[in-house]
Amino acid sequence: MKKIVSSVLVASLAATSLAACGGSSTPKETAAATTAAAAAETKAQEEKATEAATEAAGGDAVTLKWALWDASSITYYQPLIDAYKADHPNVNIEMVDLGSTDYSTVLGTQLSGSGSDFDVVTIKDVPGYMTLVNKGVLEPLNDKIKEAGIDLQQYGGITDQVTINDNLYELPFRSDIWVLYYNKDVFDKAGVDYPTNDMTWEQYDELARKVTDTTPGSEVYGAHYHTWRSTIQLDGILDGKNTIVGGNYDFTKPYYEMVLKQQQDGVCMDYATLKTQGLHYSDAFAQGNVAMMNMGSWFISTLINKIKSGEYTDCTNWGMVKYPHAEGVEAGSTLATITALALPTTAPHKDEAWDFIKFVTGEKGAQVLADTGNIPAMTNDSIVSAIASMEGFPQDETSKEALVTTHTYLEMPANDKSSEIETVLNEQHDLIMTESSTIDEAVQAMNEGVQAIIG
Amino acid sequence: MKSKSTNETIGKTLVYTVLIVFAAIMLIPFIWMITASLKFNKDIFVIPYQWFGYEPQWRNYLDIWTKIPLLTFTKNTVKLTLIVTFFQLLTSSFAAYAFAKLRFRGRDFLFLAYVATIAIPWQSYMVPQFLFMRRLGLADTHLSIIILQAFTAFGVFMMRQFYEGIPDSLCEAARIDGMSEYQIYLSIMLPLSKPALSTLTIFTFVNTWNDFLGPLIYLTSESKKTLQIGLKMFISQYSAEYGLIMAASCISLIPVVIVFLMLQKYFVAGIASSGVKG
Amino acid sequence: MTAATTVKTTSVEEANRRKLKQALVAYSFIAPNFIGFAIFTLGPIILAMIMAFMEWDGSNPWKFVGIQNFVTIFSDDRFLASLKNTVIYSIFTVPLTLMIALGLAILLNQKIKGRNFFRTVTFFPYVASLVAVAAVWNMLFTPAKGGVINQLLLNLFHIPALKWAASPKTVLMTIIMFSIWKNMGYYMVIYLAGLQNINTELYEAAGLDGANVWQKFKYVTVPQLKPTTFFVIIMLTINCFKVYDIVYMLAGGSNGVINKSAIVLVYYIYEEAFRNWNLGIASAGSLVLFAIVLAITIIQFSGEKNYAND
């Protein structure tokens, strides 16, 4: 018996020490081995032909591994790669799709230890970014940015919100803002004027109630809120006085009161039903009985494509306006979400990878994004008008104007504890909207919960 | 006499009523799946639900093959499932024989260790395991999935419990006849454990076929991914194509049902008892 | 070495050698599975157990923190809620699933028409992908007044619309029902296989003694199925304590928010491991889970031993 126990222990300890040293010892050998393996693999694949071609051209062929999600449905990856390769024929870029739903989990696991062979990683959200920064697996970019002479002002101040201890670990290439979508047909039918680019929340609420029809069987919903907490909770930070990581959430109360009242009056769909049923916001809007919906600008290309393909028939006449604002605040303040690129400390080809990151996050990359109907992080007037002139984009002036912002606030600013804070806020949001807690109770719980986390 | 036969009829009717109601409860979701697989995405979540009388979107069944490389994923899944099932059956039934029918030092402890490890959630040791496998150069290989799935404690535990049900006297008799343990395993235990082996085959097959988290973490290149990762691809960042998910789910159900139908014929009473007699 | 000669051997030395050889044979049976299992599963598991006393985020060096992780989780409301929910969930799910599975197995072991069909149908929910069946289930059990189940309850029993997975009061109940529905086919198959091991002569003998159906069940089926039941109880308990994806799919809904009324142990572990990257805390959580399941297993195990000695 003892013998077996000890032999088990020996075996497992051997495994332990093998795995444990992954954390600290020099990874050169393994890194070399894995790159060799990776190179062999890619060679085995289709790239063989291109690689041979580039070798013939005289350059040292390099293959960059790029971690991303939804490779088959996001339209700008391949154009970005093609545009880059046009100038850099000796660089191959291999997309590694880690899936959208579990992206942060998989990326975090892949970058654990020291054996990762990713050259460029896409950062999906701020909690995911914070995780990787805390783990110390992302290369600080300050020196590189200075050296390359990149002007961070081009990103409209958004990079300040992801700067951690004076250092930047990612560069954004895509930036989505939140707007208010509306279905013109619904307003026409109800004989109500369209929403405008300059509405207060009170005016918005009034308008939503005006177009609402609660007749069973032919309901029209004046407003629609997806189940995310951002659709309600974050309306409160747009006055610039409050932050979502501050530990006091009293400012969310009026917004919860407004939406909860709407929910009870049948102005918007019931949160509980939406949550369990998993109705996607795009399908809710497509059903043609939703008058207004607050959502990110990523929804533009979904709308355009699905209307074009003939799947959406009841919301073909859509428009959009700027986000409503609090009394006394300038119109044009809105929420933003950025998608960024970062350089892992373990990247096998750091210089080439940095060059690619500069390209994607720079002016040329921004052009490619705009051409495919997405809003690049580096925005200027010509890019906005390029998007607005896209086929299928609403032709009225108001909708074009809606994309111009004055202030943008990140959905979640960079904070050491962002994922823990998010858990607390999500839970209480859920309790308010299912009417399991009162607003006062839940806000109290948010305050206490978050204060306990940030100390 | 008469009352007995009426009783029997009543009993039979009762049994069938229960079974049919029961089957309906089991089947409604699958009818839903099939109807949903023939709809536009936006029409699936409409209440009240339309069971029929809509124009079926057969396109969904074509789109699933072109939107993602589903054929490659299917091939990979078939390959992995067959290999894992083979190894799982072989090593589990082999080890289980020792735990059930042989006496040796540390048997109970070792067995308990096997069973207890099933209780540890994979999520808690996934990261060290992944780092270890990557050290061995096994990241992004099918071999990693095979290794993870083929040596499970579950199979050993299950087979051991079935062997426990086979009388020891059978083995004793064989030993007295001069058979070695390997011969007993091969010519007595294996043929007797067809129902158990079928069960383990079904379970391993289903598990490997439906495994998601393992392939998700380990398999990163497109050419190596599996069916379940493919299913999730229809839920992208900005949309969820439930029509396509349902279509692909219906397709992916077929092989598993075939395996089940093929193997369940071994669940026929009397195999063990006839073994005892012979 | 044949059995006939060993019977005659009396010397201690010979007996020892025989024992050693027997042990070697036994180890040779176990080795193919055990070596793979030890290296790739047991090793990382032991590592995870050590990790429970460390602070680790997957990348930075390990830091020994003693029992700090346990102190942290036992003062975390979310962990305590997950522990409570998991126990409640298991207390209901284990016996109910077991009884239904056994009943179905016995029923579908009879010679009835359409047996194959019914067996397959029962196994369906287990086989189907969770994403698909959870979506179906959520449609049927929607909190909306117009939902299929809510309409049914209203018309048949005049029960007002329930909120099912959306209300803290009914969410666990909904999860329990779903999990019984999804998993009973699985345990039925195990029982079905177990039933094939029962010698039919035992039933015939009991019949001659005048035993009725119930007595046959009690005195033949139940004792003969003991190893199978042991297996089913252990696996059910373990699987219930490890429940995770069902909860995520049903209670998480479209925004993936799981609050204290539905959180379970493994979800907590997942959250700590992959959202917050506190792998030490995650390991501490799984060590607690391990301890509970181990205790149940040992109790069951000694129960089984007693039976074997009878």
Identify the structural domains of chain C with CATH numbers, from first to last. Answer: 70-309 (1.10.3720.10)
| Same domain? A40 vs A155 | yes
Q: Which of A286-290, A389-393, C26-30, C46-50 is predicted least confidently?
A: A389-393
Kindly list the residues from chain B whose CB atom is less than 8 angstroms away from the CB atom of residue A112.
127, 130-131
Cross-chain residue pair B130–A112, CB shorter than 8 Å: yes
* Burial status of residue A350 (CB atoms within 10 A of its CB: 0-12, 13-18, 19 or more): middle
Which H or E run contains B103?
none
pLDDT in tens, C187-232: 999 999 889 888 888 888 998 988 888 898 999 999 989 889 999 9
Q: Output the average pLDDT for chain A.
A: 85
Q: In the prediction, which pLDDT does C10 show? A: 62
CA B204/CA B85 separation, integer angstroms:
6
Question: Quick one: pLDDT band at residue A137, thresholds 50, 70, 90?
Answer: very high
| Same domain? B114 vs B240 | yes
Cross-chain residue pair B42–A101, CB shorter than 8 Å: no
The predicted model gives A351-359 an average pLDDT of 96
- Residue C158's region, left for phi above 0, alpha for psi from -120 to 50, else beta, is left
Q: In the prediction, which pLDDT does C234 show? A: 92
A290-296 vs A221-224, strand pairing mode: parallel
Q: In the prediction, which pLDDT does B277 show? A: 32
Could you list the residue range(s) of the whole structural domain that residue B135 is in? Answer: 61-277
Q: In the prediction, which pLDDT does C145 show? A: 81
Do residues A118 and A403 make contact, with C-beta atoms less than 8 angstroms apart?
A: no
Residue A23 lies in a domain: no
- Which of B59, B75, B104 is a domain's end point? B59
| Same domain? A217 vs A360 | no
Q: In the prediction, which pLDDT does B142 show? A: 96
Q: In this predicted model, which residue has the larger pLDDT, A364 or A4?
A: A364
Q: Which of A390-394, B274-278, C26-30, C258-262 is predicted least confidently?
A: B274-278
Kindly list the residues from chain C whose CB atom is less than 8 angstroms away from the CB atom of residue B126.
273
pLDDT in tens, C113-152: 888 888 888 888 888 878 778 888 888 888 888 788 888 8
Would you say residue A15 has pLDDT above 70?
no
Residue A10 lies in a domain: no
Please state the separation of Cα C84 from the chain's center in Å.
17
| Same domain? A226 vs A310 | yes
Would you say residue B272 has pLDDT above 50?
no
Which residue in C has a C-alpha nearest to residue B91's C-alpha? C33
Nearest to B127 among A1, A100, A112 (CB): A112
The predicted model gives A333-362 an average pLDDT of 95
Kindly list the residues from chain C whose CB atom is less than 8 angstroms away from the CB atom of residue B129.
40-41, 44
| Same domain? A253 vs A371 | no
Q: In the prediction, which pLDDT does C8 show? A: 53
| Same domain? B152 vs B174 | yes
Which residue in A has a C-alpha nearest to residue C45's C-alpha? A12
- Residue B106's region, left for phi above 0, alpha for psi from -120 to 50, else beta, is left
| Same domain? B103 vs B154 | yes
- Which of B29, B59, B89 is a domain's end point? B59
Cross-chain residue pair B45–A282, CB shorter than 8 Å: no
Cross-chain residue pair C138–A104, CB shorter than 8 Å: no
Q: In this predicted model, which residue has the larger pLDDT, A58 or A67?
A: A67
Question: Where do runs of H (alpha helix) occur along A24-178?
Answer: 28-44, 48-57, 77-87, 103-111, 126-135, 142-148
Q: In the prediction, which pLDDT does A51 show? A: 45
Question: Quick one: pLDDT band at residue B227, thresholds 50, 70, 90?
Answer: very high
CA A356/CA A365 separation, integer angstroms:
10
Do residues A34 and B147 make contact, with C-beta atoms less than 8 angstroms apart?
A: no
| Same domain? A380 vs A347 | yes
The predicted model gives C274-288 an average pLDDT of 94
Which residue in C has a C-alpha nearest to residue B276's C-alpha? C199
| Same domain? B39 vs B114 | no
Number of domains chain A is built from = 2
pLDDT in tens, A399-430: 988 988 888 899 888 888 888 899 999 999 99
Q: In the prediction, which pLDDT does A35 show? A: 42
Q: In this predicted model, which residue has the larger pLDDT, A24 or A294?
A: A294
Cross-chain residue pair B134–A3, CB shorter than 8 Å: no
Here the tokens at position C38 are 């030890």
Q: Is the peptide bond prior to C223 cis by the omega test (within 30 degrees of 0)?
A: no
CA A314/CA A294 separation, integer angstroms:
18
Kindly list the residues from chain B whose CB atom is less than 8 angstroms away from the CB atom of residue A8.
113
Query: What phi and psi values does residue A175 have, to the nearest 5 degrees?
Result: -140, 115
CA distances (Å), B5 to each of B8, B241, C172, C214, in order?
5, 55, 45, 19
Nearest to B239 among A101, A277, A280 (CB): A280
CA C180/CA C100 separation, integer angstroms:
9
Cross-chain residue pair A108–C277, CB shorter than 8 Å: yes
- Which of B59, B78, B93 is a domain's end point? B59
Would you say residue A22 has pLDDT above 60?
no
Interface test with A, best of B55, B237, B241 (most A CBs within 10 A): B237
Give Rg (Cα) of chain A.
25
SS3 state at B125: helix
Number of domains chain B is built from = 2
Interface test with C, best of A131, A133, A276 (most C CBs within 10 A): A276
Nearest to C286 among B27, B120, B196 (CB): B120
| Same domain? A294 vs A355 | no
Interface of chain C toward chain A, CB-CB under 8 angstroms: 38-39, 42-44, 46-47, 50, 57-62, 78, 135, 138-139, 141-144, 163-168, 250, 253-255, 257, 259-261, 271, 274-277
CA C9/CA C22 separation, integer angstroms:
15
Interface test with A, best of C255, C268, C270 (most A CBs within 10 A): C255
The predicted model gives A345-367 an average pLDDT of 94
pLDDT in tens, A305-325: 889 988 899 999 999 999 999
Would you say residue A254 has pLDDT above 60?
yes
Q: In the prediction, which pLDDT does A57 show? A: 47
CA C42/CA A9 separation, integer angstroms:
10
CA B251/CA B227 separation, integer angstroms:
10
Q: In the prediction, which pLDDT does B24 show? A: 87
Kindly list the residues from chain C whose CB atom is less than 8 angstroms away from the CB atom of residue B196.
193
| Same domain? B18 vs B73 | no
Q: In this predicted model, which residue has the larger pLDDT, C227 or C306?
A: C227
Would you say residue B270 has pLDDT above 50?
no
Residue A3 lies in a domain: no
| Same domain? A107 vs A159 | yes
Q: In the prediction, which pLDDT does B4 show? A: 63
Which H or E run contains A391?
none
Residue A397 lies in a domain: no
Here the tokens at position C94 are 């284990």
Q: In the prediction, which pLDDT does A389 show? A: 84
Would you say residue B134 has pLDDT above 60?
yes
Residues 47-76 of B with CB under 8 A from C: 47-49
The predicted model gives A257-283 an average pLDDT of 92
Question: Quick one: pLDDT band at residue A446, thresholds 50, 70, 90?
Answer: very high
The predicted model gives C59-68 an average pLDDT of 92
Does A420 contact C at CB distance below 8 Å? yes
Nearest to A115 among B135, B220, B221 (CB): B135
CA C221/CA C229 separation, integer angstroms:
11
Q: With CA atoms as reference, report the closest residue to C58 among B30, A127, B95, B124.
A: B124
Q: Output the average pLDDT for chain B.
A: 87
| Same domain? A108 vs A144 | yes
Kindly report the nearest CA distance between residue B178 and chain C, in angstroms. Answer: 5
Cross-chain residue pair B133–C40, CB shorter than 8 Å: yes
CA A238/CA A259 separation, integer angstroms:
17
Could you tell me the CATH number of the domain that includes residue B74? 1.10.3720.10
Does C86 contact B at CB distance below 8 Å? no
Q: Which of A26-30, A413-417, B127-131, C304-308 is predicted least confidently?
A: A26-30
Cross-chain residue pair C253–A12, CB shorter than 8 Å: no
| Same domain? A208 vs A67 | no
pLDDT in tens, B69-113: 999 999 999 999 999 999 999 999 999 999 999 988 889 889 988
Q: Write out the E strands in B39-153.
A: none
Could you list the residue range(s) of the whole structural domain that residue A103 is in? Answer: 30-175+337-385
Cross-chain residue pair B235–A5, CB shorter than 8 Å: no
The predicted model gives A347-366 an average pLDDT of 94
Interface test with C, best of B77, B130, B161 (most C CBs within 10 A): B161
Q: Which of A27-36, C25-34, C166-175 is predicted least confidently?
A: A27-36
Would you say residue C105 has pLDDT above 70?
yes
CA C136/CA B31 separation, integer angstroms:
10
User: What number of other Cβ atoms are within 10 A of residue A168's Cβ?
Assistant: 21
Q: In the prediction, which pLDDT does B136 show? A: 93
User: What number of other Cβ atoms are within 10 A of residue A307's Cβ?
Assistant: 17
Would you say residue A48 has pLDDT above 50?
no
Kindly report the nearest CA distance between residue B206 and chain A, in angstroms. Answer: 23
Does C10 contact B at CB distance below 8 Å? no
Would you say residue A17 has pLDDT above 70?
no
| Same domain? B16 vs B83 | no
Would you say residue A440 has pLDDT above 90?
yes
User: What number of other Cβ atoms are within 10 A of residue A308's Cβ?
Assistant: 12
Q: Output the average pLDDT for chain C.
A: 88
Kindly list the residues from chain A whose CB atom is less than 8 angstroms away from the CB atom of residue B40.
311
Question: Quick one: pLDDT band at residue A75, thresholds 50, 70, 90?
Answer: confident
| Same domain? B127 vs B24 | no
A120-123 vs A221-224, strand pairing mode: unpaired
Could you tell me the CATH number of the domain that includes residue A446? 3.40.190.10
CA B72/CA B109 separation, integer angstroms:
44
pLDDT in tens, C78-99: 999 999 999 999 999 999 999 9
Cross-chain residue pair A109–C58, CB shorter than 8 Å: yes
Q: In the prediction, which pLDDT does B137 show? A: 92
pTM for the model stands at 0.88
Do residues B237 and A70 make contact, with C-beta atoms less than 8 angstroms apart?
A: yes
Share of chain C above pLDDT 90, in %: 49
| Same domain? A329 vs A269 | yes
Cross-chain residue pair C167–A434, CB shorter than 8 Å: yes
| Same domain? A321 vs A352 | no
| Same domain? A182 vs A287 | yes
The predicted model gives B151-179 an average pLDDT of 90
